[in-house]
Amino acid sequence: MRAIEKVQEIRDARWFSNLTTIIIIAYASILGFKTLDEVENQYDLFLRIADYFVTIYFVFELAIKMVAEKRFLNFFKSGWNLFDFIIVAVTLLPLESSNLAAIARLMRVFRILRLFTARPELKAIIDMLIRAIPSIIDIVILMFIIFYIYAIIGSFFFMNLPSGLWENFLVSMLTLFRVLTFEDWTDVMYEAMEVYPWAWVYFVSFVIIAAFVFFNLFVAVIIGEMQKLQEADMKEEIHEDHQKLDIILKEVQSLRDEIKQLKDEK
């Protein structure tokens, strides 16, 4: 049991998390350098050794996480652990000398994603975003309805403009997306205003609704989930403090009982 507790301490240690983070960032830098032909040719041996080192370290880290579990199968109950296991297992497959060499190189890039599991803070942010998905989907559906209505109106009025940005419904949707990203959207508006002077109402109202209102809704949803996460952490800390206080009170009560028993014996 002492050995397992020691492994658990290593798994939960801050230095272990920081070490994994540093190795992943260094490996990401190496992958970037490998895209340069001159660097890859000159430092091919170093890059290979670094790749082997990272692979061995990831296997070592995964083994620590597995051993730290009281029951081995509990390791696979966590989605993040499954994510780590799949990435490490796939990168261990001997694909370099096969027709799937390109896939093997691509899978190496996905090793960088393990940074999410190496940093508890990043993991919490990803969990928060996943919990926000239902609300985000509702906002996206509402946003699509606004896009749909404005695309139909735009295609109806501006279909014959020389730029061809409104020639049909699908092109109108792409044009509205361009307006949403503020990519030269005023050029699109001024072209329409040359034929329809009132067209500014259409574009300005769309920008206000789609860009300002909906973007703020996305921000509000994310902030709301962050507040829920902070409240959950606070509740957990309060619960732990209550448990510690209960233990202290029980110990004080037991001491009182012992003192009382000693007085009675005298």
pTM greater than 0.95 = no
The two three-digit tokens of residue 177, written as one number: 């997306």
What's the pLDDT at 106?
A: 62
User: What is the torsion angle, in degrees rounded to the nearest 10, for the CA atoms of residue 200, residue 204, residue 206 and residue 212?
Assistant: 170
Domains and CATH numbers, the chain: 2-118 (1.20.120.350), 133-251 (1.10.287.70)
The Cα 19–Cα 200 span in angstroms is 55
CB 199 within 8 A of CB 158: yes
The Cα 165–Cα 158 span in angstroms is 8
Distances (CA, A) of 9 to 15, 23, 80, 239, 262: 11, 20, 19, 22, 41
Amino acid letter at 91?
Answer: T
What's the pLDDT at 96?
A: 58
Amino acid letter at 215?
Answer: F
The Cα 158–Cα 166 span in angstroms is 6
For 134-171, write each residue's pLDDT tens digit: 888 888 888 889 989 999 999 888 888 888 888 888 88
Q: Can you count the helices (H) and strands (E) in the chain?
A: 13, 0
Return the sign of the alpha-carbon dihedral for residues 220, 206, 183, 153.
positive
- Residue by residue, pLDDT tens for the chain (266 residues) are 567 777 778 777 778 878 888 888 887 777 777 666 666 566 667 777 877 888 888 888 888 888 877 777 777 777 777 877 887 777 777 665 555 555 656 666 667 777 777 777 777 777 778 888 888 888 888 888 998 999 999 988 888 888 888 888 888 999 999 898 888 888 889 989 988 889 999 999 999 988 888 888 888 888 887 787 777 777 777 777 777 777 787 777 777 777 777 766 66
